[in-house]
Amino acid sequence: MPEPPKRPPRRHLTVQSVSQLTPRLRRVVATGELDGWDPARPGAHFKVFVPQPGSDEPAMRTYTVRRFEPGALTIDFADHSDGPATTWAKGAQPGAGFQISGMAKSGFVPDPGSAWCVFLADHAALPAVAAILESLPAGLHALATLELQDPRDALQLESAAALEVRWLTERGEACEQLVAAAQELSLPDGDGEVWVGCEASAMRRIRAHLLHERGLRPGALHTRAYWRQGTVNHSDHDTGEEDD
Ligand SMILES: Cc1cc2nc3c(=O)[nH]c(=O)nc-3n(C[C@H](O)[C@H](O)[C@H](O)COP(=O)(O)OP(=O)(O)OC[C@H]3O[C@@H](n4cnc5c(N)ncnc54)[C@H](O)[C@@H]3O)c2cc1C
């Protein structure tokens, strides 16, 4: 029998500082066992383990490397659910302990041949978009469309790229405005890529539209579900590709 794959060791971290960036976005900067930790590419994700009331086992959820400097990891937690990770982040104070596991995975670096990048995201994917935008080179055209439940959660996004940002406010179902924006989007001329991070069904509708109505090639699409309506701890492997 082959050995089951070993789980990477957990690293113990301590909250160093917290700040409320906007009414529903809380930043946690943590220090601790980060030696040799590699944040990989901008917008990469990893597992967070937070204490769970009423259980000896911590809850595991997926979060994004918002920033990594040797010895300090920054995570931005959106307040969008009553789940354990969101609840923990809302109450986190300096000195609180939590864990992360393994190395950060995936992330996004545009193809050198791309003239433009389009980003379609909701609040949960805002930290990833902010991190990726900060890494883009001058000369690239970046268009970011982001849907928020509360317009007061809009952030100043920074990029060396020529950046156009459009904020949408949720109406009706979550990510409905984002799907409509994707369907109306005018894509710039030349080669480019589209990055999508949002609710799972909305991500599938956007992916299907871009592939089948707009004729984008699969390699130009970087889609991932950041959560799923009604699902606890939705898989971080859900890219929608199996439905192509
Ligand atoms: C690759 C990746 C990177 C991510 N990075 C970040 C990040 O940096 N910051 C961040 O805030 N989130 C991020 N997320 C989203 C986060 O993992 C989920 O929102 C997660 O479900 C939150 O855990 P929880 O314990 O609060 O809620 P859970 O216990 O998982 O879920 C409780 C309930 O809340 C609902 N719910 C979960 N998320 C949302 C949401 N966004 N909006 C509305 N309802 C929701 C669920 O459907 C469920 O019904 C990321 C997800 C992925 C896949």
Which residue's alpha carbon is at the smallest distance from atom 31 of ligand 1? 232
**At 130, phi and psi to the nearest 5?**
-60, -45
Q: What is the pLDDT of residues 97-122, one digit of tens each?
A: 999 997 778 899 999 999 999 999 99
pLDDT value of position 61 = 97
> Using CA atoms, how far apart are residues 67 and 20, in angstroms rounded to an integer?
16
Q: What is the pLDDT of residues 17-38, one digit of tens each?
A: 999 999 999 999 999 999 999 8
CA–CA distance from 238 to each of 76, 182, 233, 242 (Å)? Answer: 21, 19, 12, 9
CATH class for domain 116-243?
alpha beta
Neighbours of 87 (CB within 10 A): 17
> Using CA atoms, how far apart are residues 109 and 173, in angstroms rounded to an integer?
31
Q: What is the pLDDT of residues 136-151, one digit of tens each?
A: 999 999 999 999 999 9
> Using CA atoms, how far apart are residues 135 and 153, in angstroms rounded to an integer?
22
Cα of 42 to ligand 1 centre, how many Å? 19
The dotted CATH code for 10-104 is 2.40.30.10
pLDDT averaged over every residue in the chain: 95
Cα of 65 to ligand 1 centre, how many Å? 15
Q: Is the CB of 45 under 6 A from ligand 1?
A: yes
For the whole model, what pTM was predicted? 0.96
Any idea of the CA torsion for 114, 120, 126, 129, to the nearest 10 degrees? 0
Look at residue 5 and tell me whether its pLDDT is greater than 70.
Answer: no
pLDDT value of position 7 = 66
* Domains of the chain, residue spans: 10-104, 116-243
